[in-house]
Structure 1
Amino acid sequence: MTRTKAAAWAGGACYLLMVGLLVGAAPRASGTVHGVGALLAVSLLVGVVRRMPLPTLAMALLGSTAVVVVPPRSAHESPAASYQGQFLSYLAVDLVVGFIVATCARRASVAAVAVSFTVQFLVIGGFAHGDGLAVNGVIALLALAASCMAGLLSRERREHAVALRAQEVAEAVTAERLRIARELHDMVAHSIGIIAIQAGVGSRVMQTQPAEAREALRAIEATSRETLSGLRRTLVSLRQADRGATASEQSPLAPSPGLADIERLAAATAGAELRVDVSRTGEQRPVPADIDLSAYRIVQEALTNVVRHAGTERCRVAIDYGEEELSVEVVDDGRGASGDGSGHGFGLIGMRERVGLLGGHLSAGPRTEGGFRVAARLPLPASVGVPVEGR
């Protein structure tokens, strides 16, 4: 950083040196040569203008004004023509002003424009003659206005890009929060529902049927351990991602659940006195991980709602592997629900969010013949038929 700063200031010193050479060492060159030379020399200020733009503007004004006020002694040009060429040096000042308008605070930008405008028009008014006064004044005004407009457009474009980036970050944070909320809800709500029912069964039969009470306690223990394991995977993944760990370090401690675990989910639900009949149709094959997990969570949440609200002992889970979409359906013959069941919490909301993110369709509601039905259709990518790595 120190070397870069030193190089920047060296460029500023070289700029002043080059202007001095133009003014003193080439006195017989034309005014146009002096003006163009001063304009090209401003490239030496690129390093310092990024760190100290206002001092850079002062150097550019000093150099450009020196080129104008020290007239060349050329025998081939009239004084008026000589000054008209030398006024080109102020284009360098306009470039610096444009950079200040684009990058600095508005107060500093207004001050830079005001100082540049004042110096240029005082010098032009003092050294231009006749018709050249109006022409050079208009050209200088247009050049300064053009540099200011370019700077404003650059500022607006940068601010717009920053605003878009901030919006993208906010949307990504919101999406991640919703994802975590869905995962925790689907995982914890199902397990807590089963634990609550098993605890109720155990308390009722503890005195009369000790064997069934022990089974209920074992089911509570198994469900609790599984839930704690899932929570630990989620928390470890979040902590590792927060530390910026590598991809291998961020891998979960165990694979995420999927359609292959539906039978195990049904067996766990059976402990809550709910029999789940699982049927699969179509060509069973691996599906993308996000679809696999979402289908499992939809079935899990639907079974949780059946356990908590349906008041029935049986339900049916149907999984259909279609050519273009994966369909899952959970149907029970219990009490049903009023409306869309949203009053029971965020379960159906989470289902709709999962399906919506995958571009699918979800229908959930009471059946005319009684009970409740949840059906989701998840589109499959064209390459889903090709075998993929197992989980």
Structure 2
Amino acid sequence: MAWVGGALYFVMVALLVWGAPRASGTVHAVGSLLAVSLLVGVLRRMPLLALAMTLLGATAVVVGPPSAAYASLSVSYQGQFLSYLAVDLVLGFIVATRTRRASIVVVGVSLTVQALVIGGFAHGDNLIVNGVIALLATAASCTVGLLSRERREHAVALRSQEVAEAVTAERLRIARELHDMVAHSIGIIAIQAGVGSRVIQTQPAEAREALRAIETTSRQTLSGLRRTLVALRQADPGTAASGHAPLEPSPGLADIERLAAATADAGVRVDVRRSGEQRPLPADIDLSAYRIVQEALTNVIRHAGTGRCRVAIDYGNDELTVEVVDDGRGATENGSSHGFGIVGMRERVGLLHGHLSAGPRPEGGFRVMARLPLPEPVEAPAEVR
């Protein structure tokens, strides 16, 4: 179809040159603009060839048939040079889509051809007027092409930035999820392994209990890791149909008691208190609240040096409040013992537009409190009778 359009373009040019030799220059210019639409296919595939064809066709329309009768009248038809507006349209497309070096070359060639033709067929004031019009038309087409190029490059840069930000956000999410899940489990396993190694000779029952806690915690951690890895591979269309057994749902506040039991096995008794109207929560809020409590309990196990703590969960009308308080030794001197834990908490709360406070208490110990805004409940429409 592209080559058919190119052939029809030359047929159209021939009709303008030999079919209507005495028509006004404006008619020839409009005909050239209509004819260049036939070169759309060639322009998309080979824009430089399309420019050469347009230059040849516009020049043929301007010069006209080689007859003495028409040559004597060509000077008076100054609108004839407007046929080069078709060349300027193709030139603007090339400037917008090709490299700067190629654009400079084609602009130079186009201006040279137009200058030679105008200089040969226009005289006096008409020479200056047509030269200025040709120069302004070329400058306008190049300006539009440059603006189109900059806009496209800006859009590409924005898309690249959005992709980079999305990748970074996903990496941070995976890092938070792995840290909150693995750090808590490894902390419990390390404590239970230490207890088991100390009492394995003198208290075999206690050693077996420690090994049982290590096994349970390890299985839960492997299940969580598998769930995370499967979620990362869900972009593969064959994953859903691979025949794997369905995974356990993500943890939430309903699993706090089980988390407290695992923490108690590690030597820290957890007093869980709930207040307010307990109700289902959005999945992201439920998971984030659970991870915040999990990370806070991990810090209690690793850093507080105490045997008890308190977890308070308040289901408010507008926000969910989660608080973890211990009476241990609080923050260390350099304040860096919690590593990425509190950083991850702040990121989770920030993504939900909530507020987190974490720091030592005046009366001793450490306190972590997160306030997570809750969406307004959707009321069921009243039944119409």
TM-score interval for Structure 1 and Structure 2 normalised by the shorter chain = over 0.9
Structure 1 segment 345-360 matched on structure 2, within 5 A:
345-360=339-354
Q: Is 1:187 paired with 2:176?
A: no
Deviations along 1:177-218, whole A, 9 cap, x unmatched?
Answer: 000000000000000000000111111111111111111100
Please tell me the residue identity of whatever aligns with 2:228. T
Task: Give the Cα–Cα distance (whole angstroms) in 1 for the partners of residues 12 and 244 of structure 2.
Answer: 57
**Residue number among 266, 275, 285 corresponding to 2:269 in the alignment:** 275
Please tell me the residue identity of whatever aligns with 1:287. L
Displacement, 1:252? 6.8
User: Please, what TM-score do these two structures have when normalized by structure 2?
Assistant: 0.93
Q: Is 1:315 paired with 2:309?
A: yes
Instruction: Give the superposed CA RMSD.
Output: 2.4
**Residue number among 356, 366, 372 corresponding to 1:378 in the alignment:** 372
Please tell me the residue identity of whatever aligns with 2:180. D
The DSSP-based 3-state class of the residue aligned with 1:315 is strand
Displacement, 1:242? 4.8
| Contact 2:22-2:70 within 8 A present in 1 as well | no
**Residue number among 219, 222, 230 corresponding to 2:224 in the alignment:** 230
**CA shift in 2, pair 1:162/1:169, >3 Å:** same
Task: Give the Cα–Cα distance (whole angstroms) in 2 for the partners of residues 367 and 327 of structure 1.
Answer: 18
Q: Percent identity?
A: 81
Task: Give the Cα–Cα distance (whole angstroms) in 1 for the partners of residues 40 and 247 of structure 2.
Answer: 53
Task: Give the Cα–Cα distance (whole angstroms) in 2 for the partners of residues 235 and 213 of structure 1.
Answer: 33
The DSSP-based 3-state class of the residue aligned with 1:320 is strand
**CA shift in 2, pair 1:120/1:344, >3 Å:** same
Task: Give the Cα–Cα distance (whole angstroms) in 1 for the partners of residues 379 and 333 of structure 2.
Answer: 38
Please tell me the residue identity of whatever aligns with 1:14. L
Deviations along 1:280-333, whole A, 9 cap, x unmatched?
Answer: 111111111111100000000000000011111100000011111111000000
**CA shift in 2, pair 1:248/1:256, >3 Å:** farther
Displacement, 1:234? 0.9
| Contact 1:320-1:327 within 8 A present in 2 as well | yes
Aligned to 1:324: 318
Task: Give the Cα–Cα distance (whole angstroms) in 1 for the partners of residues 245 and 347 of structure 2.
Answer: 24
Task: Give the Cα–Cα distance (whole angstroms) in 2 for the partners of residues 200 and 152 of structure 1.
Answer: 70
Displacement, 1:26? 2.2
**Residue number among 149, 159, 167 corresponding to 1:173 in the alignment:** 167
Deviations along 1:74-103, whole A, 9 cap, x unmatched?
Answer: 999983565312111100000000000000
Displacement, 1:131? 1.6
**CA shift in 2, pair 1:379/1:224, >3 Å:** same
Aligned to 1:111: 105
Task: Give the Cα–Cα distance (whole angstroms) in 1 for the partners of residues 77 and 334 of structure 2.
Answer: 83
Task: Give the Cα–Cα distance (whole angstroms) in 2 for the partners of residues 361 and 126 of structure 1.
Answer: 78
**Residue number among 292, 300, 306 corresponding to 2:294 in the alignment:** 300
Task: Give the Cα–Cα distance (whole angstroms) in 2 for the partners of residues 340 and 249 of structure 1.
Answer: 50
**CA shift in 2, pair 1:385/1:216, >3 Å:** farther
Structure 1 segment 71-90 matched on structure 2, within 5 A:
79=73, 82-90=76-84
The DSSP-based 3-state class of the residue aligned with 1:368 is coil
**Residue number among 124, 135, 157 corresponding to 1:130 in the alignment:** 124
Deviations along 1:241-285, whole A, 9 cap, x unmatched?
Answer: 255867999997221000111111001111001100001111111
Count of residue pairs brought into register by the alignment: 380
Q: Is 1:59 paired with 2:21?
A: no
Which is further off, 72-81 or 361-370? 72-81
**Residue number among 346, 351, 356 corresponding to 1:362 in the alignment:** 356
| Contact 1:32-1:82 within 8 A present in 2 as well | no
Please tell me the residue identity of whatever aligns with 1:291. I
| Contact 2:270-2:309 within 8 A present in 1 as well | yes
The DSSP-based 3-state class of the residue aligned with 1:365 is strand
| Contact 1:65-1:123 within 8 A present in 2 as well | yes
Task: Give the Cα–Cα distance (whole angstroms) in 2 for the partners of residues 108 and 92 of structure 1.
Answer: 19
**CA shift in 2, pair 1:249/1:323, >3 Å:** farther
**Residue number among 133, 139, 148 corresponding to 1:145 in the alignment:** 139
Task: Give the Cα–Cα distance (whole angstroms) in 1 for the partners of residues 336 and 96 of structure 2.
Answer: 51
5+ residue gaps, structure 2, are: 381-385
Aligned to 2:383: none
